[in-house]
C-alpha cells in the first residue's frame, strides 16, 4: 500500500484533557441540578404571585373573601295628600340568620352641604327634596346624611301600608297626651288617645304624620318618637315563627327584607338628631356610631372616592373581627375584602401599601386605628391598602 493511501493515526490526547473534560462535564451537570433544585424551591416557597389552593374555611389562616354589602332599604311614606311623612332605613344584620336595625330619619332633617345652595333659603331638608324630586331625591338626600348608600328604596302610600301591616293585630303605641284632630268646621276629636293606643293598619300613616304641638323642629322629634314606638311594636309582632305568615304574599324586595330581618333580633335605633339653630341636624358622632352598627359592610356613597381596604386578622382570635372592622370603617375607607392573615401571632397592627401615591392615605388610616405603615411593591393589587391586625390592637383599646 502506498504512503498516500495509508491513514495516519490521531495523536493521543493529553492526560489533562483526557481526564479533565469528563470531570468538568460532571461538575457542570451537578451544578445545573443544584441550580434547578434551588430555583424550584425558591419559586415554590415564594409568596410573590404564588397560586395556592383556595382556603374556604372562614376561621382558617389565609382565608379571604370579598365582602357582601349590607342588604338595606329606604322606606319612604307619603300621606293621602302626597306629602312625605316618614323616612325609615332598614338594614339586615345577616341574610341567613336574620336580625337587623331600623333607623328613623325625621323628614325635617337637614341635608349636609346644602345650606344656602340649590335654591334653599336655609339648609335643604328631606321633605323639600321629596317635594322637588320624589323618591330618588329623598334617597340621594338620605345617602348624604348617612354617608352610605342603601341597596334599594320603596315608596309606601296609606293603601300600601294597609296591605303591609294589615296581617297583624293593631300595634299599641304609648302616647303621653291625646292626639287631637281639628275638623274644618272647628270641632275637635281625639284621634289617638293617651296611654297605650292601638293603631290599626288603616291608621298607620295618620299616626306617622300627625302634627305635634311644639315648634317646627321639636315637632319633628315628637313625631319621630311616635314612629319609633310603632316600628318597635310592629317588629315585635312580626317576630317568631315564620314572619311571612304575617306579611302579604307579594314578591317585593321590602317584604323579603322585612321577613329576613324578623327572623332574628331587630333593633329600632335611638334618634341621633338634635335641634340646632331652629333646624334638625344629626349629632355626627352618634350618627357615625349607628351607621357603623347598622352597616357592617356599607355601600359607599360615591364608589372609588375613598381608598379600598383589605382587612386581615393576624391574631387568630375571631373576637377581633368586629372591633377592627368598625375601627376601619370609622376611619372613612371603603372595605372590600376581609379575612385572616396567612399566619397567626402577628404582634403589630400595620397598614401596607404598594403605591407611593397611597402613602398619605396609609398613614392617615394607621393613625386612626393605631398601627405602623409598610411599603410592599408585591402587595395584592385587589385593594389600595391592606390592614393586618396584630395583638397590639386590643391592647390599645
Domain ranges of the chain: 72-294, 304-396
Instruction: Decide: 378 and 354 in contact? Cβ < 8 Å.
Output: yes
Q: Which residue has the higher pLDDT, 36 or 237?
A: 237
- The pLDDT tens digits for 374-396 are 999 999 999 999 999 999 997 65
Answer yes or no: is pLDDT of 238 > 90.
Answer: yes
Identify the band that residue 55 occupies on the pLDDT scale cut at 50, 70 and 90: confident
Answer yes or no: is pLDDT of 16 > 60.
Answer: no
Q: Domain spanning 72-294 has what CATH number?
A: 3.40.630.190
Answer yes or no: is pLDDT of 112 > 80.
Answer: yes
286 Cβ contact partners less than 8 Å away, ≥ 6 residues apart: 272
What does the pLDDT read at residue 20?
60
Full-model pTM: 0.81
As assigned by CATH, the class of the 304-396 domain is: alpha beta
**Percent of the chain residues past pLDDT 70, beyond the cut:** 82
What is the longest distance spanned by two Cα atoms in the chain?
Answer: 150
390 Cβ contact partners less than 8 Å away, ≥ 6 residues apart: 314, 315, 346, 347, 348, 349, 350, 371
Pairing of strands 385-389, 350-353: antiparallel
What does the pLDDT read at residue 59?
87
Distance CA 388, CA 311 (A): 6
Answer yes or no: is pLDDT of 129 > 60.
Answer: yes
What does the pLDDT read at residue 279?
86
H-helix or E-strand spanning residue 234: helix 216-238
Do domains 72-294 and 304-396 share one topology? The answer is no
**Averaged over 309-326, what is the pLDDT?**
96
Answer yes or no: is pLDDT of 195 > 60.
Answer: yes
What does the pLDDT read at residue 52?
55
**Percent of the chain residues past pLDDT 90, beyond the cut:** 69
**Averaged over 300-324, what is the pLDDT?**
95
Amino acid at each position: 500500500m502506498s504512503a498516500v493511501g495509508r491513514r495516519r493515526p490521531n495523536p493521543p490526547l493529553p492526560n489533562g484533557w483526557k481526564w479533565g473534560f469528563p470531570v468538568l462535564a460532571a461538575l457542570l451537570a451537578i451544578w445545573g441540578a443544584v441550580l434547578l433544585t434551588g430555583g424550584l424551591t425558591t419559586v415554590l416557597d415564594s409568596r410573590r404571585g404564588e397560586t395556592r389552593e383556595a382556603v374556604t374555611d372562614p376561621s382558617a389562616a389565609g382565608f379571604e373573601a370579598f365582602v357582601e354589602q349590607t342588604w338595606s332599604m329606604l322606606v319612604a311614606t307619603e300621606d293621602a295628600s302626597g306629602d312625605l311623612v316618614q323616612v325609615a332605613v332598614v338594614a339586615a344584620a345577616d341574610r341567613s340568620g336574620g336580625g337587623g336595625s331600623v333607623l328613623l330619619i325625621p323628614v325635617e332633617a337637614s341635608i349636609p352641604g346644602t345650606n344656602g345652595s340649590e335654591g334653599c333659603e336655609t339648609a335643604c331638608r328631606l321633605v323639600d327634596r321629596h317635594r322637588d324630586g320624589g323618591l330618588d331625591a329623598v334617597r340621594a338626600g338620605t345617602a348624604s346624611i348617612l354617608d352610605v348608600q342603601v341597596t334599594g328604596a320603596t315608596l309606601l302610600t296609606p293603601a300600601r301600608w294597609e296591605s303591609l301591616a294589615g296581617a297583624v293585630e293593631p300595634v299599641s303605641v304609648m302616647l303621653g297626651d291625646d292626639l287631637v284632630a281639628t275638623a274644618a268646621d272647628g270641632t275637635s276629636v281625639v284621634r289617638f288617645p293617651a296611654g297605650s293606643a292601638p293603631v290599626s293598619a288603616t291608621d298607620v300613616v295618620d299616626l306617622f304624620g300627625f302634627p305635634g304641638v311644639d315648634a317646627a323642629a321639636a315637632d319633628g322629634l315628637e313625631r319621630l318618637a311616635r314612629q319609633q314606638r310603632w316600628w318597635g311594636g310592629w317588629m315585635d309582632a312580626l317576630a317568631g315563627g315564620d314572619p311571612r305568615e304575617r306579611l302579604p304574599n307579594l314578591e317585593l324586595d321590602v317584604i323579603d327584607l322585612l321577613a329576613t330581618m324578623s327572623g332574628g333580633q331587630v333593633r329600632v335605633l335611638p334618634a341621633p338628631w338634635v335641634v340646632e339653630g331652629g333646624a334638625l341636624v344629626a349629632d355626627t358622632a352618634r350618627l357615625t356610631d349607628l351607621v357603623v352598627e347598622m352597616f357592617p359592610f356599607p355601600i359607599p356613597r360615591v364608589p372609588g372616592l375613598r381608598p379600598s381596604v383589605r382587612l386581615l386578622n393576624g391574631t387568630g382570635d375571631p373576637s377581633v373581627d368586629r372591633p377592627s372592622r368598625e375601627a376601619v370603617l370609622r376611619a372613612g375607607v371603603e372595605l372590600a375584602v376581609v379575612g385572616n392573615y396567612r399566619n397567626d401571632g402577628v404582634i403589630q397592627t400595620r397598614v401596607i401599601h404598594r403605591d407611593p401615591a397611597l402613602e398619605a392615605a396609609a398613614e392617615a388610616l394607621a393613625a386612626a386605628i393605631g398601627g405602623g405603615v409598610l411599603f410592599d411593591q408585591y402587595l395584592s393589587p385587589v385593594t389600595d391598602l391592606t390592614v393586618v391586625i396584630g395583638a397590639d390592637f386590643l391592647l390599645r383599646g
